[in-house]
Amino acid sequence: MSRVLDRAVRPGLVMFALAVGAFAIGTTEFATMGVLPFFAKDLGIDEPTAGHAISAYALGVVVGAPIIAVLSARVARRTMLIALMSVFALGNALSGLSPSYHAMLGFRFLSGLPHGAYFGLAALTIASLVDPGKRTQSVARMFLGLTVATIIGVPVSNWLAQAVGWRWGFSIVALLGLLTAALVWRFAPRDVPDSNASPLRELGALASVQVWLTLITGAIGFGGLFAVYTYLSVTLVEVTHVAQAFVPVVLAVFGIGMTVGNLIVPPIADRALMPTAIGLLLVSATAMALFPAAAHNPWLVMADVFVIGWGGSLATILQTRLMEVAEDAQSLAAALNHSAFNTANALGPWLGGMAIAAGYGWTSIGWVGCALALGGLPPLLLSVLLERRRRLAVA
């Protein structure tokens, strides 16, 4: 683990600096879905083709997280955080300047590369500055930047796309990336990597069954949330029959649910991490099972979407779990958490789309989401069982 050199570090300011980066990442990740029609038209392509830009970003996250984490094993966390947000800013600035569809794909892939490694290192940095009993809630406060982005950043980007053009949204995200780099330089503690750190030791995380079980839980269990969120807008119009202007309100309710969940759930998880994760998956599965019925009423669907958003706090819980089980390979394990969630981001919409294409209707995404949330339980329960057996063997 890195050794902090600064004696007088203010964790609150460090948390704020890293949360600004989370806000920037959350804005570009979710807002791209909303401005897709605008850049599709400008670049002369249809919307399904433009959707590949979203996949390119997710691919960047999946590829970049483990590679960067391994190669940067002997680089100070503070230095890496500044470098990652600088690359993130560059990728988004270039995205806003994209002259063609293929250039857009390349720039979105570049923008996604720092995503997972940034969140992994940010979580480790915050966790190193607080008492072990407060790690989950401290990491959650950093993640609030991402959840607030779904309430503020995404609607603002959509408004900018309509008012002055889609390119401005990416430009503002680039500026936020540079601001984050500056804040990290100013407030994050200077640190020295462990002298025994190496790419090979980081790869040791891949030999841990507990690491893999945690990642599989996220890759499957979190897919349900994305299955519903991806098709929520069109479901609201086609099934709930709300006006298009009402859709952002429901999306904001989803974001509020994520934010409230990240405020309330992590303190509970700090006292009982795995039971909280299990309970959260069960609550999410129930909310998604109710979605097909709730989708026919605007007030019921808002309440249901709020609870589904609440389930987003699972990301923070699994991040803490990886810190517990990764031993000396903290950076890679923490970064892989976001590769897992972007796998879920691909799996959920793909299975939801298959259900819709098969003729089961827009509300079938609720059942797909329920199945995925329940699918995250077996690896989680196996993880608990193996840990219990290990403790009994030691005793």
In this structure, whether the domain defined by 1-197 belongs to CATH 2.60.130.10 is answered with: no
pLDDT in tens, the chain (395 residues): 555 555 567 888 999 999 999 999 989 887 776 677 788 888 888 766 777 787 788 888 888 888 888 788 788 889 999 999 999 999 999 999 999 999 999 999 999 999 988 988 898 888 888 887 777 788 888 888 888 888 888 778 877 877 888 899 899 999 999 999 999 999 988 877 666 656 666 676 677 889 899 999 999 999 999 888 878 888 898 899 998 778 878 888 988 998 899 889 988 988 888 999 999 999 999 999 999 999 999 999 999 999 999 998 898 889 888 878 877 667 777 778 888 888 887 788 888 888 888 899 999 999 999 999 999 999 999 999 998 888 888 76
Output the DSSP codes for 335-352.
HHHHHHHHHHHHHHHHHH
Please give the pLDDT value at position 2: 55
204-395 — its CATH code? 1.20.1250.20
Looking at the chain, the number of H-run helices and the number of E-run strands are 19, 2
pTM for this one? 0.80
Per-domain residue ranges of the chain:
1-197, 204-395
Q: What is the pLDDT of residues 319-378, one digit of tens each?
A: 888 878 877 667 777 778 888 888 887 788 888 888 888 899 999 999 999 999 999 999
DSSP notation for 208-258: -HHHHHHHHHHHHHTHHHHHHHHTHHHHIIIII---GGGHHHHHHHHHHHH
- One-letter amino acid at 184 equals V
* Closest by Cα among 150, 70, 76 to 116: 70
Domain 1-197 matches domain 204-395 at the CATH topology level: yes
pLDDT of residue 374: 97
The DSSP call for residue 244 is G
Cβ count near 7 (within 10 Å): 6
Give dist(CA 17, CA 187) in Å, integer: 7
The DSSP element (H or E) to which 191 belongs, if any, is strand 191-192
What residues have CB less than 8 Å from 191, skipping those under 6 apart?
Answer: 2, 3, 4, 5, 76, 77, 78
Q: How many angstroms separate the CA atoms of 310 and 255, rounded? A: 9
Q: Residue 128: phi, psi to the nearest 5? A: -75, -10
Beta-bridge partner residues of 192: 3
Between CA 343 and CA 145, with CA 171 as vertex, the angle to 5 degrees is 55
The conformation of residue 331, written as its DSSP 8-state character, comes to H
State residue 243's pLDDT score.
87
Specify the amino acid at residue 182: A
